Amino acid sequence: MTIWLTSDTHLSHALVANQRGFSSLKQHDEAILRNLQRHIKSDDILWILGDVAMGGWRDSIVQLSILPFQVRVILGNHDRPSPIMSNHSAYLEEFTTLGGFSSVTTWEFIEFEGQYFMMSHYPHSGDHEQPDRYTSQRPADQGIPIIHGHTHSSEKVTYTRKGTKQLHVGLDAWGLHPVRLETIANLYKEQS
């Protein structure tokens, strides 16, 4: 079993599809889903660290429910059950069921070979806009390396003011492909 990570799939999100160079939502979404299926095996686990879908989010996440591997979600600012959304709790069960997700949360810890990482949609600091948005949703910087999405940056590693390492797994940093947890753990070691 391999654990895979990604973020910011943005299925059915016209602006992001256009920014990524696709001429249609269909082409964008098919490319994202194809890249997931190309890498991830049936006994693997995929963590999507937020911003799963926009627009027709219900139809989009149903596409994820037919993937032959387990999908777990950490909510991002564009996800309907995110705490920043109005009436967010009314959507959690529907979101989880339609997507066939084995878990949906706002953050999580994960361990790889004795190293613990926090996983969140948001980094401790940094954004693709200034100033940082959603500061109330960001986990406090306690010196634990964080695996995140949200920034749409090509940078894979950044640091907080305290020197805490932030490891970006968003599709825009990895050529629209998911990344193995092992690769992220090795990146953490290399940059230390």
Q: Give the pLDDT mean for 83-92.
A: 93
Provide the number of structural domains found in the chain. Answer: 1
Q: Give the pLDDT mean for 12-31.
A: 96
Structural domain containing residue 114: 3-190
Share of the chain above pLDDT 70, in %: 99
pLDDT per residue over 35-47, tens digit each? 999 999 999 999 9
Q: How many CB atoms lie within 10 A of CB 49?
A: 28
Start-end of H helices in 49-111: 57-65, 92-99
pLDDT band per the 50, 70, 90 thresholds, residue 80:
very high
Long-range pairs, 103-110, Cβ under 8 A, ≥24:
103/72, 103/73, 104/72, 104/73, 104/74, 104/75, 105/73, 105/74, 105/75, 106/74, 106/75, 106/82, 106/137, 107/74, 107/139, 108/47, 108/72, 108/74, 109/144, 110/3, 110/47, 110/147, 110/181
Instruction: Give the CATH number for residue 78.
Output: 3.60.21.10
Please answer whether residues 159 and 167 qualify as being in contact, where contact means their C-beta atoms are separated by less than 8 angstroms.
no
pLDDT per residue over 88-139, tens digit each? 999 999 999 999 999 999 999 999 999 999 999 999 998 887 888 888 889 9
Average pLDDT, the chain: 95
Please answer whether residues 122 and 140 qualify as being in contact, where contact means their C-beta atoms are separated by less than 8 angstroms.
no
Long-range pairs, 127-133, Cβ under 8 A, ≥24:
127/151, 128/152, 128/153, 133/77
pLDDT of residue 56: 86
Q: Quick one: tokens of 91?
A: 């959507």
Reply yes or no on whether the pLDDT at 192 is more than 80.
Answer: no
pLDDT of residue 128: 82
Q: Give the pLDDT mean for 72-90.
A: 94
